[in-house]
Structure 1
């Protein structure tokens, strides 16, 4: 594998990558895909109407294939809003995509939404083989709040341990512009303003470790990002390196703000999924 430790993408680089992808087309163009929607990933809790409403996921997968990778995708929305969706950029790429809803603040408080993310990932580990996927090729990803959830669950092993899953079995964590410090909504629930960063056990930065799964960090343009998100991401990258992690990657997408950076980021996600699952 070609180890790229840092990279800064500009418009030209992205255009070339996307143009090549369009020319080559998906590697599995002859496959058919199915979607199963609103699968409950928590059992025995149907009497809780909010859990019944929000703790559901959709799975999009190649119907007649086996051994394919899976990307678990968490939507953004500041932990206060948002809705699951299958990103168009990940369709017909020979992979499964699991789009997850989770409970939201202020109806619930921290750490309920983190635990929901862990429960959904654990469901994928236990069920993906039934759909043809390889449990050894599960990636977790998301944008903004979704990236924060992916990083939290992937780095702090305690969340998946409670569901009998080892976080180190993840094939990779791909974080699109998620908080590296304690999330602003977690802080808001404590009365802390968004411009006052803290790092505690609810910050991915708190859990940097050398033995974590491969970690891909993608940020928008540092001058356009939200609340210093690029600098958070860059420091997260640096501390993972200092801790001795050997497979951490940092990308800055020139010209793209916090909302717009997700679409070009999928090119990076797919490249790393392909490289990390090569035989």
Structure 2
């Protein structure tokens, strides 16, 4: 009898968990955005989760890249973004040193390709896709936005994005890419793995958010300020730079409400 009760309790727990996931809007989990014909490490890492807002259609989608220095972390859907009338896609990707930074950027582009191809099947609009993420995630969002070739490879015009909102992204060459070249972490460089290298006109709207310049990771505010300035100099008008006074590099929560507000503002103008 004890085993029967335990079994029934387990079934009820799983059923309740299933209902909770459904009511929470989690439509898909651990989706392999490369398909299943890849190597074991790719199949393990290159997965995404999809949160869909209930009772909505033609909704906007935030593609969220997690942080972790391109060497760690895990895919996530920030709780604050749930229930805001938008879909959220939490993307996982491969890490250094198992792969090069170039490959990680390609993973980010492949995940965005999946969103463009699949989001309308789930009720969303491919004309309302926003890229975002924290730290290394923000870096990935900016790299595939400014270097158009990553999404052009998938026949996607990156300028069709509704906008991009990176949190405390690296604007010079990412320190993990510098490490691959034997460059010390505090030696700044700008090469093909720097968003600043790809400054161009006619980018989609960009809102850069950082923590307090005196509390952030060394130079992170200044990197973003330089990127914002250069994007404006070449003729982009929809560029913002926001500094969150009193917050250090872990400024994700105070930035999330700003992300939601910014997406809603872009939707009103679209």
Match of 2:13 in 1: none
Q: Does 1:158 align with 2:143?
A: no
Q: What displacement does 1:44 show?
A: 5.2
Specify the SS of the correspondent of 1:137.
strand
Question: Structure 2: any 5+ residue segments left out of the alignment?
Answer: 1-22
1:45-60 equivalences in 2 (<5 Å): 45-46=37-38, 48-60=39-51
Match of 2:223 in 1: 232
Q: Does 1:267 align with 2:257?
A: yes
Aligned length: 247
Q: Does 1:128 align with 2:116?
A: no
Specify the SS of the correspondent of 2:43.
helix
Specify the SS of the correspondent of 2:125.
strand
Question: CA contact under 8 A between 1:34 and 1:63: conserved in structure 2?
Answer: no
Measured in 2, the distance between the counterparts of 1:45 and 1:238 equals 43
1:31-180 equivalences in 2 (<5 Å): 33-43=25-35, 45-46=37-38, 48-180=39-171
Following TM superposition, the consecutive aligned residue runs of length 4 or more in structure 1 with deviations greater than 3 angstroms are none
Match of 1:7 in 2: none
Of 60-69 and 230-239, deviating more is: 60-69
Q: What displacement does 1:177 show?
A: 0.3
Measured in 1, the distance between the counterparts of 2:91 and 2:262 equals 21
Q: What CA RMSD, in Å, does the superposition of the two structures yield over aligned residues? A: 1.2
Pick aligned residue for 2:266 from 246, 254, 276? 276
1:198-209 equivalences in 2 (<5 Å): 198-209=189-200
Alignment deviations for residues 170-207 of structure 1 (CA, whole Å, 9 cap, x no partner): 11011100100010000001110110111111110111
Question: Structure 1: any 5+ residue segments left out of the alignment?
Answer: 1-30
Alignment deviations for residues 219-274 of structure 1 (CA, whole Å, 9 cap, x no partner): 00000100210000111111111111010000000110001x11100111111100
- Higher helix proportion: 2
Q: Which has the higher contact order (CA 8 A, sep 6+)?
A: 1
Specify the SS of the correspondent of 1:114.
helix
Question: CA contact under 8 A between 2:28 and 2:50: conserved in structure 1?
Answer: yes
TM-score (norm 2): 0.89
